């Protein structure tokens, strides 16, 4: 299968590397020229507890160089989804599937408007990775990946994709309730990302301290209330326990938002905690903890974004 990954940061590179190792034709498409150049010259280096592995795969900054894809995976930040959708439009063949594994709300809707809902699949992943530098990533936690059709239901193509992912060491299942998948991942991100970004701690320490544990409990409870008021049938009964499990599984990983703050980049706070605040305002549900976390992260951004 020819797979194009738009957004070759930590997670995009992790998926690309694993899929290339499994024998798939993989293209990493990213605007970071130094990263692309390093991969083209030396391969992508995956660092894990066992060893460092160099993987050869295609990498480019130019979408025109790629051609039509069987599968396009979107891994850009939520605020770049519109641009990624336009790029993906140039990669479509007759049966191309476009899969978003991004954080936050609204990404699938943006892709569907540009590409057509029938092409779009959504998913979540508990895999983890940290970008070490150009051409180098560190593998973080391991966990399941769930994918589903944006339009609902499960198609043979999705099952084929799940099989390919699983064979590549990315255990994947097809789920019929895609909207609930996205909300479930959102609530987990609500409990981890902003807190780690503000404190500088890795995922595993979020539940280790009484103070951050209480922040998790309050933020997650607000997000659960907003989800249920939105009519979402959440797949888990208690997301505090879900956050604890994910934090432990990815204990050595630095969240994507913490990585953004460390590298002085714009964060996805508006699509995560900020999305809970916005939905709560529409529904008349108070979300003071998520509002405070959102304001603090945006204040932190203003210290380095000019």
Q: Is 185 a catalytic residue?
A: yes
Among residues 2, 77, 138, 185, which one is catalytic? Answer: 185
Give dist(CA 223, CA 246) in Å, integer.
17
Please give the full DSSP string across 36-86, using - where no structure is assigned. HHHHHHH-EEEE-SS-EEEE--EEES-GGGT--EEEEEE-S-GGGHHHHHH
Give dist(CA 252, CA 47) in Å, integer.
13
- Count other Cβ atoms within 10 Å, centred on residue 110: 19
- Sign of torsion over alpha carbons 280, 286, 292, 295: positive
Give dist(CA 130, CA 153) in Å, integer.
33
- Sign of torsion over alpha carbons 242, 124, 35, 269: negative
Per-residue 3-state assignment (H helix, E strand, C coil) for 217-280: HHHHHHHHHHHHHCCCCCCCCCHHHHHHHHHHHCCCCCCHHHHHHHCCCCCCHHHCHHHHHHHH
Sheet holding 44-47, edge to edge: 52-55, 44-47, 136-139, 129-133
**What is the DSSP pairing of strand 129-133 with strand 136-139?**
antiparallel
The token pair at 126 is 């508990």
- Beta-carbon-side half-sphere exposure of residue 224 (alpha carbons within 13 Å): 18
Phi, psi (degrees; rounded to nearest 5) at 133: 165, 180
Q: Kindly state the helix (H) or strand (E) to which residue 131 belongs, with its residue range.
A: strand 129-133
Q: Which residues are catalytic?
A: 185
């Amino acid at each position: 299968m020819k797979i194009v990954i738009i957004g070759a940061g930590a997670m995009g590179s992790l998926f690309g590397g694993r899929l290339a190792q499994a024998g798939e034709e993989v293209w990493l498409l990213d605007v970071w020229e130094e990263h692309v150049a390093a991969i083209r010259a030396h391969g992508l280096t995956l660092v894990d507890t066992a060893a460092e592995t160099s993987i050869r795969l295609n990498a480019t900054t130019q979408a025109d160089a790629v051609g039509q894809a069987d599968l396009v995976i979107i891994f850009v930040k939520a605020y770049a989804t519109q641009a990624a959708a336009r790029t993906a439009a140039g990669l479509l063949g007759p049966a191309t599937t476009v899969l978003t594994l991004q954080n936050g709300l609204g990404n699938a809707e943006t892709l569907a408007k540009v590409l057509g809902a029938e092409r779009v699949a959504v998913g979540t992943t508990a895999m983890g990775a940290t970008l070490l530098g150009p051409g180098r990533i560190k593998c973080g936690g391991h966990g399941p990946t769930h994918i589903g059709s944006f339009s609902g239901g499960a198609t043979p193509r999705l099952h084929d994709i799940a099989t390919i992912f699983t064979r590549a060491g990315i255990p994947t299942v097809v789920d019929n309730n895609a909207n609930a998948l996205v909300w479930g991942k959102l609530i987990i991100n609500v409990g981890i990302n902003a807190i780690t970004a503000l404190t500088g701690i890795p995922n595993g320490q979020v539940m280790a301290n009484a103070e951050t544990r209480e922040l998790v409990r309050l933020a997650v409870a607000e997000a659960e209330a907003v989800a249920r008021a939105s009519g979402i049938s959440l797949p888990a009964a208690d997301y505090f326990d879900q956050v604890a499990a994910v934090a432990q599984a990815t204990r050595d990983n630095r969240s994507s938002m913490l990585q953004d703050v460390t590298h002085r980049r714009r964060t996805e706070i508006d699509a995560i905690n900020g999305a809970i605040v916005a939905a709560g305002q529409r529904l008349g549900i108070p979300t003071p903890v998520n509002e405070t976390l959102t304001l603090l992260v945006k204040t932190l951004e203003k210290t380095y974004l000019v």
